[in-house]
Structure 1
């Protein structure tokens, strides 16, 4: 069932907004849906089925070019697609290209003229040129060999690139590799967008790296300010922080600063599998999602079902931004703030609205989208203010604001 048939749950708190907010939601059910959150109403405006079919395990990732109003959608069945967005929510097809199997993440780079993809199943990365109109053309494919695989035979028999990340000064692309326990680092040619490899970040074997974020106590970042890289690992359920510098010899240099569990010191369930990590819009907090931990119980996302369901969790952290001169070794240390409910099971991806006062959570296993209220001062998550059920296995949810 597509998100056009989603059931809208009652809002559990008074929740008002002056204007509508648009969200795009991808689902393994084969749909990309446009949702509108306005005042006390969460409405499905449009459903598109052209990114990939449910039988081929797609779609998986969305990336919005706000300048050109183009939405890029990856399908795990070897596809990259582009769509023109519209005020009424409809997505108009622009272009589709076949690519290496298993694309699961993308990032724009080189002044927004190119897009890089991380391919989990394909043990590869690929790059593509993108025009203002949304057309796509291939630039480069790089495939990694199983010789660099990690320790876990079930999940690390081959390299598995899990995310594409751009550094704060837009000089380097980084790709956490779940199979090889490496973060691969590449620079790129400004004229051709071709990639050149640099020394990777080597994590502890068996970590299974998934996602990461850069953070600095000042934003926008300029070189010379302390810079940190928070790296989340799925199998070890850990966040490792590194201080980052830009050596004159090229590449990036990483120095480990801290390692914490994704549960903030609370016992880590044996079934847990860490997933996403994001920085709040005000740059003061970092959140990570935990899957299969069943830390909470919550109402069913289906308002016709009174049976409560298990909920996985989201952890809230405050990175230390104390002045450099007073406490030089405290910068970048994560302070645990809260373990909060995620609104269901399988929080594969989540994102903030522009104001940072709500978080949208895509829940793959319980097949719902939860909208959670957030206190911007304390960083803490609160109640679920809207819930959408029945959209299939949700893989990605992003805001258009």
Structure 2
């Protein structure tokens, strides 16, 4: 057994590209360094992870980003995650993201362009998919937008709403929570600029704004969010790369500081972390600088629970790098790295 009272991290990776599956690690409180304690490859290509509390302790969930997509639950009481039952099909292809919403597990299925809803038992185990909600539409990019590609699903603060980002349709879908069943009901869809290819979003800590990161154009779309009505209203765009940046870039993740002063963006191709300053209202984002990501092809960014360090999962260089954040500027400063082949995400207890 490991000391579960200390800080822990879990790293997802692509087993089809040489990854170890899900790596468990301890987190040094003083330096932020990650030290692996074990790994499991019981699930193929666990590219994204989520944690949730249960009556018997926290449970780790992972997608299997395969043609026949699945999810699995893991006990994390030991040195390595241990499966809680067999993987459960999600009824969609290529799930790239998942989130826990009450007593439901939600997945964004990139390949089939849908959102799946799966029930959770008291012990955290996953039941068969009870709903698969298909998206409709396309975008102008003939290579990437011939149909819908749901890339992320995020519960809004308060739990009443769920937002699903669709790269293929250049839109964000809003779902309402059904108070009777706990499932999802379609509520609305917000169109973004055609061809931008929205990938992920993050909420401002005040809950007043949403920042949508675009993959097909290196920009961030700022939206006002109305938690009373479930309304999402785009109000502006800002670049996440400096003028004249060389080569194509494919932004992957956006993270907002707990105090709402900054946000950070991972730029694949440019292999950088962009630092954007937010105004006091959260309505305007301005690119301040970019720093190297500590590897190649940063697929994911994550803050530690204290919000003092930023971690980048660099897929193609096979490592997770960590950075201390300068309080006055929001600039990440490289502090260390852990080898993690085909790393795709990192989360913390």
Counterpart in the other structure of 2:343: 394
Identify which range, 313-322 or 348-357, moves more after superposition: 313-322
Partner of 2:108: 118
Tell me the distance in 1 between the aligned counterparts of 2:105 and 2:197: 24
Tell whether the 8 Å contact from 1:139 to 1:193 is kept in structure 2 after alignment.
no
Partners of 2:327 and 2:75 lie apart in 1 by 32
Residues 387 and 258 of structure 1, relative CA distance in 2, 3 Å threshold: same
Task: Compute the displacement of 1:168 (Å).
Answer: 1.9
2:278 counterpart (314, 319, 329): 319
Contact 1:26 1:59 in 2 (8 A): yes
Residue 64 (structure 1) aligned to one of 44, 51, 57:
51
Corresponding residue pairs, total: 332
Equivalent in the alignment of 2:246 = 269
CA contact (8 A) 2:20 2:39 kept: no
Per-residue deviation, 1:345 = 1.1
Distance 1:20 1:340, change over 3 A: farther
CA RMSD of aligned residues (A): 1.9
Q: Which has the larger radius of gyration?
A: 1
State whether residues 281 and 352 of structure 1, in contact with CA within 8 Å, keep that contact through their aligned partners in structure 2: no
- 1:163 is paired with a residue whose SS is strand
Residue 251 of structure 2: SS of its match in structure 1? Answer: strand
Q: Is residue 184 of structure 2 the alignment partner of residue 195 of structure 1?
A: yes
Q: Is the 8 A contact 2:10 2:25 kept in 1?
A: yes
Counterpart residue number, 2:285: 334
1:240 alignment partner in structure 2: 221
Structure 1 outlier segments of 4+, above 4 Å? none
Confirm or deny that 1:374 pairs with 2:333. Answer: no
Higher normalized contact order (CA 8 Å, seq sep 6+, divided by chain length):
1
Of 18, 21, 31, 2:21 maps to 31
* Offset at residue 193 of structure 1 (A): 2.2
Query: d(CA) in 1 for partners of 2:121 and 2:246?
Result: 46
Partner residue, 2:123: 133
1:336 and 1:270 map into 2 onto residues whose CA distance is 19
What TM-score, normalized by structure 1, do the two folds share? Answer: 0.78
Q: Identify unmatched segments of 5+ residues in structure 1.
A: 1-18, 53-57, 222-226, 294-311, 323-330
Take 2:157 and 2:7, find their aligned partners in 1: how far apart are those partners?
27
Aligned residues of 2:238 and 2:287 also touching (Cα < 8 A): no
